[in-house]
Amino acid sequence: MTNKKDDTTLEKIVSLCKRRGFVYPSSEIYGGLAAIYDYGHYGTLLKNNIRDSWWKSMVQMRDDVVGLDSAIFMHPKTWVASGHVGGFNDPQIDCKKCKNRFRADHLLKEYGIDADKATLEEINNHLDKLREQGKLKCPNCGSTNLTKAKIFSLMVKSNIGSPTEEFTEENVVYLRPETCGGIYLEYKNTVDSLHKKLPFGIAQVGKAFRNEIVARQFIFRTREFEQMEMQYFLQPSMMKEKYKMWKELRWQWYLDNGIPKDKIKWHQHEKLAHYATEAYDILYGFKSLGGFDEIEGIHARGNWDLSQHAKFSGVELNYTDDGGEKFIPHILETSAGLNRMLLMFLDFAYAEEDVNGETRVVMKFPKALAPIKIAVFPLLRNKPELVKKAKEVYDKLKLDYICEFDDNGNIGKRYRRQDEIGTPFCVTVDFDSLEKSDVTVRDRDTMEQVRIKISDLENFFKDKFSA
C-alpha cells in the first residue's frame, strides 16, 4: 500500500458525500435549492460526533459553562439592538452579461484590495478606479459589463401569527443569523435561576440562517447552517487572562480531535468592530479549497451586547458582585461553524492509496468521530449459520458502539464501502468462527487482519477506542 499523490478536490469530496450518504443537495427532486444541504445517515452521525466532542469539552468537562437551547425565532427588536437589522449586509455586484452575482469585497480581493469593513462608497470608488483602467472583469465570463456595488441584507425574514395576516414590516420576524443572540437574551434567566457567578459561560449548538450572496463551496458557506457558540461573561479586568485561556483551549480541541498543528493557524483581525478589543480566527488548511480558511472565531466583545439589549428592552442586565458593585459583564465569545468543521474533517480524512495497482479511497476519520465504529459481516450471505453467528456478534457489539451489519456484495466490496464511510474496524465471521469461536478483525488504516476470540472482542475494542 502506498499513498497516492494528494490531489483531493472538492468535487471528489462532494461525490463521495452523495455516493455514500453523508451530504445530499437539498430538495434535489425539485431541482435543488441553492446553498442548502441535507445530511444523510453517515453525515448526521459524523456531525453529531463532532458536536458531542465540542459539547463535552465546552460544557461537560467544565464547571463554569452551562448549556442552552434557545428558540430560532426571537423578538425582532433583538436584531435591531444587535445592529443586524440595517447593518448585517454584504456588498453585491452583478455581471450584466452572464447574470452571475459576486461579493464586491471578495472581487476586490482578487485585485489585491482589502475591502473588508470598507463602506459602500469606498468599495464603489475602488471598483470605479479598476473600471477606468479597464481592469474590472467578471470572474466568470470576463465581461467588463458589471453593475455598481449595492448593499444586500443577509437577514432571512419570515412572519408568524395569523395565517391570514399579510407579510408586513409590523409582523416580520427573522430567522436568527447567529445563535449567540439567544444566549444574550437568556443571560438574566441563567443568572437568576442557576445563580452563576462570574466568570461563567453559556454554550449552545443550533441552526443559523444567512442569505449569503455567493455560496459556492459546498457546505463551507451555506444559507442554513449550524453554529456551536459559547459566550463567557466576565469582569473586564479578567479579559486578558481568560482570552488567553480560551485561545489555548480551543486550539487544543483541534489537536485532541486529530487535526495536526501544521494544518491550523491563527489569523488576527486587524480591523475590529468598534466594541471589540481582540479577535482571532482559527483557520484550517483545506486541501480541497486550495488554502487556509476560517473555521472558528474567538472574540473579546466588551459589554456591547448586553448594554444594547438592556437599552432596547429597558431591562437591567447588570451583575452585582460580592462587593456590591454593579456592572454590565463583558463577553468573550468562541464561535464555530459545525458544518464547516464537518467539511474540515472530510477534507482531512480523505485519502487515496494505491493497493496492488488499484486506488483505495479511505476516510481516515479519528476513531472517536467515525460515524460507524465497527462493521460486522458474515463471509457469505447465503449461509444461514454464518449469518446467525454474525448477527449474534453484531447484536452484542451494538450495545456499546454504533455498528453496521453488512452482507451486501462480496467481502472486497464491503471493505471498499466501509473504507469510504471511514469505519475503523470490520469484523468477519467465517467458517472457522463456527468451530473456533473467533473472528477476523481488519484495521481500516493498516488493512491488517487479526484473529480475535469472540469472547475477547469487548476488551479488544475497549483498548482500541480508548487509545
Positions that interact with ligand GAP (CB under 6 A): 178, 180, 210, 212, 221-222, 225, 227, 229, 294-297, 333, 335-337, 339-340
Nearer of residues 222 and 288 to ligand GAP, judged by Cβ: 222
Burial class (CB in 10 A: 0-12, 13-18, 19+), 104: buried
Here the contacts of 44-49 (C-beta below 8 Å, separation 24 or greater) are: 45/371, 45/372, 45/402, 46/22, 46/342, 46/345, 46/365, 46/369, 46/370, 46/371, 47/226, 47/338, 47/339, 47/342, 49/368, 49/369, 49/370, 49/371
Cβ 210 to ligand GAP, closest distance in Å?
5
Cβ 177 to ligand GAP, closest distance in Å?
7
- Distance from CA of residue 284 to its chain's centroid? 12
Grid coordinates belonging to 63: 464547571
Cβ 211 to ligand GAP, closest distance in Å?
9
- Residues with Cβ within 8 Å of residue 289, at least 6 apart in sequence: 10, 217, 220, 347
Cβ 71 to ligand GAP, closest distance in Å?
17
Cβ 231 to ligand GAP, closest distance in Å?
9
Grid coordinates belonging to 39: 445530511
**Helix runs in 186-299, H state only:** 187-194, 239-256
How many Cβ atoms are within 10 Å of 219's Cβ, its own excluded?
26
Cβ 282 to ligand GAP, closest distance in Å?
8
Nearer of residues 278 and 352 to ligand GAP, judged by Cβ: 278
Could you tell me which residues are beta bridge partners of residue 268? Answer: 280
User: What are the φ and ψ backbone dihedral angles of 206, each rounded to 5 degrees?
Assistant: -175, 175
Nearer of residues 339 and 428 to ligand GAP, judged by Cβ: 339
Cβ 308 to ligand GAP, closest distance in Å?
14
Nearer of residues 224 and 407 to ligand GAP, judged by Cβ: 224
Give CA–CA dist 72/141, Å, rounded: 39
In DSSP notation, 253-304 reads HHHHTT--GGGEEEEE-SSPPTT-SEEEEEEEEETTTTEEEEEEEEEE-TTH
Cβ 154 to ligand GAP, closest distance in Å?
8
Q: Which amino acid is at 106?
A: H
Nearer of residues 49 and 335 to ligand GAP, judged by Cβ: 335
Nearer of residues 74 and 386 to ligand GAP, judged by Cβ: 74
Cβ 348 to ligand GAP, closest distance in Å?
15
> Three-state DSSP class for 467?
coil
Candidates 142, 149, 96, 160; CA nearest to 126 is 149
User: Any idea which residue has 480581493 for its cell?
Assistant: 109
Give CA–CA dist 11/254, Å, rounded: 25
Residue of minimal Cβ distance to ligand GAP: 337
Distances in Å between the Cα of 204 and the Cα atoms of 149, 334, 358 are 36, 11, 45
Grid coordinates belonging to 102: 459576486
Cβ 339 to ligand GAP, closest distance in Å?
5
Nearer of residues 221 and 444 to ligand GAP, judged by Cβ: 221
Nearer of residues 182 and 371 to ligand GAP, judged by Cβ: 182
Cis amide bond preceding 384, omega within 30: no
Cβ 90 to ligand GAP, closest distance in Å?
11
Nearer of residues 288 and 339 to ligand GAP, judged by Cβ: 339
> Three-state DSSP class for 263?
helix
Pairing of strands 350-355, 425-429: unpaired
